[in-house]
Amino acid sequence: MNSTTKKVYWVIGFLLFLSLVPSIAGVIRISQIATGAGYTVENQRFFNDPIPVLIHIVAVLVFSILGAFQFAPGFRKKNLRWHRISGRFLVFFGLTTAISGIWLTLVYPKVPTDGDWLFGIRIAVGFWMFFCMILGFGFAMRRKFIIHSHWMIRGYAIGLGAGTQVFTHLPWFLMVGGEPSGIPRDLMMGAGWLINFLFAEWLIRKK
The CA-atom distances, in angstroms, between 83 and each of 98, 107, 149, 200 are 21, 35, 12, 20
Identify the pLDDT of residue 42.
Answer: 67
User: Which residues fall within 8 angstroms of residue 164, CB to CB, at 6 or more apart?
Assistant: 18, 191, 192, 193, 195, 196
Using pLDDT thresholds of 50, 70 and 90, give the confidence band for residue 99.
very high
Identify the pLDDT of residue 131.
Answer: 97
Which one is predicted more confidently, 110 or 103? 103
Identify the pLDDT of residue 101.
Answer: 94
Identify the pLDDT of residue 193.
Answer: 96
Q: What is the pLDDT of residues 158-178, one digit of tens each?
A: 999 989 998 999 889 888 888
Round to whole Å and give the CA distance between 127 and 125. 6
Q: What is the pLDDT of residues 177-201, one digit of tens each?
A: 888 889 999 999 999 999 999 999 9
Within 142-182, residue ranges assigned H as helices are: 145-159, 161-175
Identify the pLDDT of residue 189.
Answer: 95
pTM reported for the whole predicted model = 0.87
15-29, 106-120, 177-191: which has the minimum mean pLDDT? 15-29
Residue range of the domain that includes 55: 3-206
Q: What is the pLDDT of residues 117-155, one digit of tens each?
A: 999 999 999 999 999 999 999 999 999 999 999 999 999
Q: What is the pLDDT of residues 36-87, one digit of tens each?
A: 776 666 677 777 878 889 999 999 999 998 888 887 766 777 777 888 888 8
Question: How many structural domains does the chain have?
Answer: 1
Identify the pLDDT of residue 8.
Answer: 63
Round to whole Å and give the CA distance between 73 and 92. 21
